């Protein structure tokens, strides 16, 4: 690891309250094995990772072939299952976008496009798609796999205003250092009547509570923030964005539970993970704000 500049919070990065409480320490199981503290804001319920490397020095924490969004690896059972499920989730996301925007085709911005699977899929279904991705190796992989050219994420601030019917961030907002300017820019880029789709893990889910500090979706220090549905709604209201709908991501409970089992005992337990993932989904079926991960559909 290179020398790092750390973000040490004395106030909530979302609402600015200084009423913070320590939750527990979580280990970075993917790269460094370092521990990071999780704090919770007692005002807006956002949880966040303390002493994360800043934007200039966090890159080292993404350099692992196990980090699937950047390498597209199929190594190991968990990642093979992820690839099998992905075909279904791509189609589900497209249906959600068409339903929320009431458009069969339109202009789409996909931020944090990874190796380009979703951007390529939407392009293949006649959506005019712009994909942004911070990792150069992932952009190169997208070109090799799908023949699409993703742009560096810094281009976000030079895109023309009101130019997208849909903007998607699939598990991206929890990684963004400049949270408030970012949301303001997304708002500017959205056309009138357009929709913003933000998917993030939900620490109030059943699987999160069962696994505690071993819950894989804490993914420290790459995940800077850990949202509850209340925390997300509060953040959106600060930017005068309106929550239109929410939807659990049903497969995430299984994927996260499998990883969490591996973190907890060093080798995993696929049967226990499947049972726990299923219970988590049953709870979310009764109360959909309890999904392991949530998609928030947002309008201006």
Separation between Cα atoms, residue 241 and residue 14, nearest integer Å? 14
- pLDDT exceeds 80 at position 1: no
- Please identify which residue in the block is written with the tokens 């959106």: 236
Q: Could you tell me the two tokens for 1?
A: 């690891």
Separation between Cα atoms, residue 73 and residue 291, nearest integer Å? 26
Q: Identify the pLDDT of residue 72.
A: 53
Distance of CA 13 to the CA centre of its chain: 17
The average pLDDT across 88-107 equals: 96
Phi, then psi, of 257 in degrees rounded to 5: -65, -40
How close are the terminal C-alpha atoms of the chain, in Å?
41
Separation between Cα atoms, residue 119 and residue 148, nearest integer Å? 8
CB atoms under 10 Å from CB of 243, counted, come to: 15
Q: Could you tell me the two tokens for 257?
A: 């539970």
Q: Identify the pLDDT of residue 26.
A: 98
Q: Identify the pLDDT of residue 4.
A: 82
Q: What is the pLDDT of residues 131-146, one digit of tens each?
A: 999 989 899 999 999 9
196: which strand partners? 167, 298
DSSP symbols for 167-186 = EEEET-GGG-SSHHHHHHHH
CB atoms under 10 Å from CB of 253, counted, come to: 31
Q: Which of 162, 171, 240, 169 is nearest to 200 (CA)?
A: 171
Q: Could you tell me the two tokens for 158?
A: 């030079």
Q: Are 247 and 289 in contact (CB under 8 A)?
A: no
Q: What is the pLDDT of residues 64-88, one digit of tens each?
A: 665 544 445 556 665 666 667 777 8
The SS3 assignment for 69 reads helix
The residue that leads in pLDDT, 255 or 36, is 36
Q: Identify the pLDDT of residue 83.
A: 64
Which residues, other chains included, contact 171 with Cβ-Cβ below 8 Å and sequence gap of 6+? 69, 112, 199, 200, 201, 293
Separation between Cα atoms, residue 11 and residue 5, nearest integer Å? 18
The SS3 assignment for 240 reads coil
Q: Identify the pLDDT of residue 86.
A: 74
Q: Identify the pLDDT of residue 77.
A: 62
Q: Identify the pLDDT of residue 82.
A: 63
The average pLDDT across 111-126 equals: 96
**Omega within 30 of 0 (cis) for the link into 20:** no
Domains (range + CATH), the chain: 68-215+229-299 (3.40.50.150)
Phi, then psi, of 274 in degrees rounded to 5: -65, -40
The SS3 assignment for 113 reads coil
Separation between Cα atoms, residue 49 and residue 39, nearest integer Å? 6
Torsion of CA 41, 42, 45, 50, to 10 degrees: 20
Q: Identify the pLDDT of residue 63.
A: 78
Question: 1-10, 14-23, 99-108, 215-224: which has the minimum mean pLDDT?
Answer: 1-10
The average pLDDT across 108-127 equals: 96
């Amino acid at each position: 690891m290179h020398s790092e500049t750390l973000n040490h919070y004395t106030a909530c990065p979302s609402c600015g309250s200084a009423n913070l409480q320590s939750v527990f320490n979580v280990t970075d199981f993917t790269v460094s094995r370092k521990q990071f503290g999780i704090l919770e804001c007692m005002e807006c319920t956002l949880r966040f990772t303390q002493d994360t490397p800043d934007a200039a020095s966090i890159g080292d924490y993404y350099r692992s072939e196990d980090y699937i969004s950047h390498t597209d690896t199929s190594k190991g059972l968990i990642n093979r299952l992820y690839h099998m499920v992905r075909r279904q989730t791509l189609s589900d996301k497209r249906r959600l976008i068409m339903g929320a925007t009431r458009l069969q085709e339109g202009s789409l911005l996909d931020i944090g496009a990874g190796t380009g699977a979703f951007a390529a899929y939407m392009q293949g279904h006649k959506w005019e798609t712009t994909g942004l991705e911070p990792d150069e190796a992932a952009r190169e992989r997208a070109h090799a796999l799908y023949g699409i050219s993703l742009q560096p994420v810094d281009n976000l601030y030079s895109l023309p205003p009101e130019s997208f019917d849909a903007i998607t961030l699939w598990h991206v907002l929890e990684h963004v250092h400049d949270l408030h300017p970012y949301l303001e820019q997304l708002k500017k880029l959205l056309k009138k009547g357009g929709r913003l789709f933000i998917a993030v893990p939900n620490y109030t889910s059943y699987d999160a509570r069962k696994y505690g500090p071993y819950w894989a979706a804490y993914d420290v220090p790459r995940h800077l923030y850990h949202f509850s549905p209340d925390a997300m709604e509060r953040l959106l209201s600060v930017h005068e964005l309106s929550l239109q709908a929410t939807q659990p991501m049903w497969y995430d409970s299984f994927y996260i539970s499998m990883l969490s089992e591996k973190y907890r005992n060093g080798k995993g337990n696929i049967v226990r993970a499947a049972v726990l993932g299923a219970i988590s989904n049953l709870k979310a079926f009764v109360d959909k704000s309890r999904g392991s991960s949530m998609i928030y559909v947002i309008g201006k």
